[in-house]
Amino acid sequence: MKVTVKANANIALTKYWGKKDDKLKTPWNSNTSITLDGLETITTVEFDQKYTCDIFILDDKEYLEGTDEFKEVKEQIDIIRNKSNKKEFAKVVSKNNFPTAAGFASSASGLAALTYAGCKAAELNLSTKELTILARMGSGSASRSLIDGFAIWHAGETSEESFASQIAPKEHWPEFRILGCVISKKQKKTKSRAGMAQSVKTSPIFKVWYETAESDANKMVELIKEKNFNEIGKLAQANCILMHACAMTTNPTIMYWQPGTLEVIHKVLELQDEGKEIYFTIDGGPQVKIICQEKDVVEFKEILNSLESVQEVIVCKPGTGPRVINEHLF
């Protein structure tokens, strides 16, 4: 059975940085996000006796056994195979419409699409909660991409308690916008998973980070429900800075920011001083995501495009969870 799924990336409004249980992939703290229309992965999965091994192709490049990319996909397919009692090998072909492994949450949309398509292809009927738990095993942030609109990934104490759920659907706030500033399309030097593990072990402010981050997640849930835009922006920005401070104080230092990242940050701070309703957040990478409202998109996009370091500005509105489509990739 062959199934193709389209899933959107998401941007964390309050972050997580560090896994409490590496085996279960549970985070130290709860975290919140917005699923984005505009940043998407399309993935086709097929289980069939004709395959003599698992096959993984991403953006027209085949990844062979021994690569990190193949390992990540095979581990997820193995989980699905075990749950469904499937014996056949699988072919997985995936495409992103945005830079891969560069700080735009491609692992979130990629593993969400893989999990959803893989379960459908294996004829596994799981609830949304069960799917988010399964997606979490591949990529923590993928659990949030299975949710329409605004989501929270609960830290939980057990695997069953660590799942993603909806804070509000996309219709709750259709005017909310994220502007993705592309600073670099190169893959980041330190992948988030490896960076997190080092921070947990060596950052002197890690304890401060996760205690603050749990409180921030709970605050963000209420602010989203209230549609309190400016307080959301302030909280997201402060939370982002503390997360990166945790990364920067890791030994050896994890520095995701590039000169262009700082150029955008300083421009946003300058606009804030002028009274503009604009805020920034940054995940594990150099790209800056601007938090704004629909009414300001034209103005802010023009300003951001004028900056020397900004290669492209991607406009995103609240998006949907994964959905099955009819156009297969093979």
Q: Domains plus CATH for the chain?
A: 1-330 (3.30.230.10)
- Span 168-186, average pLDDT: 95
Residue type, 211: E
What integer best gives the mean pLDDT of the chain?
96
Whether 272 has a pLDDT exceeding 70, the answer reads yes
The predicted-structure confidence for 7-59, as pLDDT tens digits, reads as follows 999 999 999 999 999 899 999 999 999 999 989 999 999 999 999 999 999 99
pLDDT in the model for residue 151: 98
Beta strands 55-58 and 89-96, pairing class: parallel
Query: Of all residues in the chain, what percent carry a pLDDT higher than 70?
Result: 99
Tell me the C-alpha distance between 13 and 33, whole Å: 5
CB atoms within 10 A of CB 49: 8
Per-residue CA distances from 71 to 51, 55, 66, 76 (Å): 18, 11, 7, 9
pTM for this structure?
A: 0.95
Task: Identify the band that residue 104 occupies on the pLDDT scale cut at 50, 70 and 90.
Answer: confident
Tell me the C-alpha distance between 64 and 119, whole Å: 23
The distance from CA 189 to its chain's CA centroid, rounded to whole angstroms, is: 18
Q: Which positions ≥6 away from 184 have C-beta within 8 Å?
A: 102, 258, 260, 286, 287, 311
The predicted-structure confidence for 311-328, as pLDDT tens digits, reads as follows 999 999 999 999 999 999
Query: Of all residues in the chain, what percent carry a pLDDT higher than 90?
Result: 91
pLDDT in the model for residue 140: 94
Whether 191 has a pLDDT exceeding 90, the answer reads no
Beta strands 89-96 and 31-48, pairing class: antiparallel
**In the chain, which residue ranges form alpha helices assigned H by DSSP?**
68-84, 106-121, 128-138, 142-145, 192-202, 206-226, 229-248, 259-273, 297-305
- Span 154-175, average pLDDT: 97
pLDDT in the model for residue 180: 95
52 within 8 A of 94, measured Cβ to Cβ: no
Q: What is the dihedral of CA 71, 72, 76, 79, to 10 degrees?
A: 50
pLDDT in the model for residue 189: 74
Tell me the C-alpha distance between 22 and 153, whole Å: 16
- Span 280-289, average pLDDT: 95
Whether 87 has a pLDDT exceeding 70, the answer reads yes
Task: Identify the band that residue 193 occupies on the pLDDT scale cut at 50, 70 and 90.
Answer: confident
Whether 102 has a pLDDT exceeding 80, the answer reads no
pLDDT in the model for residue 103: 65
Task: Identify the band that residue 101 occupies on the pLDDT scale cut at 50, 70 and 90.
Answer: low
pLDDT in the model for residue 200: 95
pLDDT in the model for residue 99: 76
The predicted-structure confidence for 198-247, as pLDDT tens digits, reads as follows 999 999 999 999 999 999 999 999 999 999 999 999 999 999 999 999 99
Whether 70 has a pLDDT exceeding 70, the answer reads yes
